[in-house]
Amino acid sequence: MSTLTRLVLDRRSLISLVGDRRFYAACPGFAAVKPGILAIVTAYNASKKKRCCGGDWEALRPAVDAWVGSLMSQYADDERSVEPVRNYLATIKGFIPRPVVIYYRASSSTRPVRFEF
């Protein structure tokens, strides 16, 4: 792996991660939210609305909300608990992401949050 590099996860990256079954195998800390997230992703992928007019963000936002919420909760409990996420991202990106930065506004919020780990 190459040197440490900052990684910003945007909407497209988050959507990709929430639907990636390999992610959940590599990151067992997401076991509690995995069934609900994958149910949303599966229903969306089966719908005829898939990728029509950019609707994937609106349809998958509840899944991303649950994913980001779980990540933030795990980090608050123990900062080391999110290392499997960093390691998984390293296998995809080909470099060690440090820090990983997410700018995110949950559906229930009016203000975006900057989360870094």
Where are the domains positioned within the chain? Answer: 2-116
Q: In degrees rounded to 5, what are phi and psi of residue 70?
A: -65, -45
Instruction: Please give the residue that has the higher pLDDT: either 24 or 46.
Output: 24
Q: pTM for this structure?
A: 0.88
Identify the band that residue 27 occupies on the pLDDT scale cut at 50, 70 and 90.
very high
pLDDT 10s digits, 75-102 = 999 999 999 999 999 999 999 999 999 9
Q: Is pLDDT above 70 for 2? A: no
Single-letter residue type at 77: D
Q: Give residue 91's Cα distance to chain centre.
A: 15
Output the six-digit token pair for 56. 């994937």
In angstroms, rounded to a whole number, what is the distance separating the alpha carbons of residues 33 and 3? 32
Q: Is pLDDT above 90 for 55? A: no
Identify the band that residue 57 occupies on the pLDDT scale cut at 50, 70 and 90.
confident
